Amino acid sequence: MISLGKKNVLGVLVDAVDYEAAIQSIVEAARQRAALAVSALAVHGIITGVLDSEQKYRLNSFDVLVPDGQPVRWALNWLYGTKLSERVYGPDLTLKVCQEAASHGLPVYFYGSTQEILTALERYLKTKFPSLQICGMTPSKFRCTSESEKSEIVSRIKESGAAIAFVGLGCPRQEVFAYEYNKELSIPIVSVGAAFAFHAGAMPQAPRWMQQRGLEWLFRLSCEPRRLWRRYLLLNPLYLFLLLLQATGFEFATTGLPPSREMLWG
């Protein structure tokens, strides 16, 4: 198990951990019904913290930010010599946590995406982990929610008996959700990006050889060029440039601005 603490990557505090350490943190908190904000962070997630000081504040308040993208793992190895042999990929983390939840009798909840995807996801997970207790699934509203809607969401998840909540709202909405709901739910909230769609079979995953070489972005760009071209063709070069600055001694501050108001994504 590797758990080397938080490391500053462009001002965002990423945990130098492997799957085992991340899963242990989530399962222990789930068994104690303790709040734990977790996100699987790729380059896009890091850059949202660089460009938005309020988002940086949110991210750096998380209990665990795992290196979801290969370029984030490479940055940890390059800047800090962490020698991480693999990333902690959100979709794989989802399955590994579900496997542990099934073996420990910990009910799980899924929030986000569409009802169609959630239905397919439930079918897939029930086939893969027959003993997994899925105590609730709620699709995204695809908009900001009101205070009364937030209270309703909190009540629904609490009353379900969930020990772990997975959130698939996409970056940065899912991190905003986890930040705003973390203390009120008092269970692990695990933000896992496109994991719902991948496991539901609604979105293709890059071949493993592309994932291992940090080329997943190219595969996803080829699948959704109109939606993702700005993210990958503009933000990836920015990430590399800023990493070079940090490697040459430039210090990125980890302090951000507390959010001026709640942004209740649902």
Which pLDDT value is given to residue 226? Answer: 80
Extents of the domains making up the chain? 18-210
User: What is the tens place of the pLDDT at every residue in 50-60?
Assistant: 999 999 999 99
For the beta sheet containing 188-191, the strands, ordered from the edge strand earlier in sequence to the opposite edge, are: 64-67, 36-41, 188-191, 164-168, 108-112, 134-138
User: What is the tens place of the pLDDT at every residue in 114-162?
Assistant: 999 999 999 999 999 999 999 999 999 878 788 888 889 999 999 999 9
Tally of CB atoms within 10 A around 66: 27
pTM: 0.93
Tally of CB atoms within 10 A around 131: 10
User: What is the tens place of the pLDDT at every residue in 85-99?
Assistant: 999 999 999 999 999
Half-sphere exposure of residue 109: CA atoms within 13 angstroms, side-chain side:
22
In DSSP terms, 8 is beta-bridged to: 13
Reported as type and span, the H/E element at residue 57 is helix 53-59
**Contact 45/175 with Cβ under 8 angstroms?**
yes
Series of mean pLDDT values for 10-residue runs along the chain (266 residues): 96 98 98 97 95 97 97 97 96 98 98 96 97 96 82 94 96 94 95 94 86 81 78 86 96 92 67
Which pLDDT value is given to residue 148? Answer: 85
Reported as type and span, the H/E element at residue 135 is strand 134-138
Measure the CA–CA gap between 261 and 130, rounded to whole angstroms. Answer: 42
